[in-house]
């Protein structure tokens, strides 16, 4: 069995401005940096250390990974970067279509972006490779990604009871990987010190 802590980056300037920032990037705000340090405090209090740290290739994820782990030897992975929203990049979030289901599906493809299934597939393939690589590690791994990509990954798992979740900045998704399957154990908001979702009362 391998364990994964998949988390979202801290607050960015675009988050604060209410702008879409999929494939483009904006820096962490001071609040975003503080959120990352709070996540680091959570892991320390839970006595959780990592065999390896990964981050998407985008600056906001890399900076969060460094602040959370205190390490600079993390590895950058394109496979866990954010959903590409095409022409909507940098625009106000209010311009996005009203969400009527669990995902935007292929809406952004017509505007040069990605569809939900493609994002979920690359996330799944990348994270599966990591789980196989680290299957014998005593400690879990940390991967810092993005809200849209993390949600597409969760949808791709086709869980029988999909939890209704928000994805606040620096939210942490704890997965176990065994026999080729990802199993969601918990979702934690370390900033609010709140357990958003928990399976069978087990955080570890």
Q: For the chain, what are the domain ranges?
A: 2-83+120-198
Average pLDDT over residues 177-194: 94
38: three-class secondary structure by DSSP: helix
Chain segment 36-60, per-residue pLDDT in tens: 999 999 999 999 999 999 999 999 9
| Predicted confidence (pLDDT) at residue 204 exceeds the cutoff of 50 | no
Distance CA 8, CA 13 (A): 15
| Nearest Cα residue to 168 out of 185, 184, 191 | 191
pLDDT for 9: 98
Average pLDDT over residues 180-190: 94
End-to-end CA distance of the chain: 13
98 confidence band (pLDDT: 50, 70, 90): confident
Residue in 9, 134, 146, 174 annotated catalytic:
9
Residue in 31, 59, 66, 91 annotated catalytic:
91
**Residue 15 marked as a ligand binder:** yes
Please classify residue 18 by burial: count the beta carbons closer than 10 Å to its beta carbon, then call 0-12 exposed, 13-18 middle and 19+ buried: exposed
**Residue 11 marked as a ligand binder:** yes
CATH code for the domain defined by 2-83+120-198: 3.40.50.1240
9 is catalytic: yes
Main-chain dihedrals φ then ψ at residue 126, nearest 5 degrees = -65, -45
């Amino acid at each position: 069995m391998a364990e994964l802590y998949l988390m979202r980056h801290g607050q960015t300037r675009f988050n604060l401005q209410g702008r879409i920032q999929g494939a483009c990037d904006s820096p962490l705000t001071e609040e975003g940096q503080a959120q990352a340090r709070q996540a680091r405090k959570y892991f320390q209090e839970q006595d959780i250390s990592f065999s390896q740290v990964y981050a998407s290739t985008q600056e906001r994820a890399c900076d969060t990974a460094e602040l959370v782990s205190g390490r600079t030897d993390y590895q950058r992975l394109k496979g866990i970067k954010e959903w590409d929203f095409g022409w909507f990049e940098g625009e106000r979030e209010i311009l996005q279509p009203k969400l009527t289901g669990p995902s935007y599906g292929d809406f952004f493809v017509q505007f040069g972006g990605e569809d939900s299934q493609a994002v979920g597939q690359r996330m799944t393939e990348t994270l599966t490779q990591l789980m196989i690589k680290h299957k014998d590690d005593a400690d879990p791994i940390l991967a810092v990604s993005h809200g849209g990509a993390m949600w597409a990954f969760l949808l791709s798992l086709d869980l029988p009871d999909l939890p209704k979740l928000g994805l606040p900045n620096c939210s942490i998704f704890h997965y176990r990987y065994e026999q080729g399957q990802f199993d969601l154990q918990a979702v934690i908001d370390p900033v609010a010190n709140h357990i958003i979702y928990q399976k069978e009362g087990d955080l570890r």
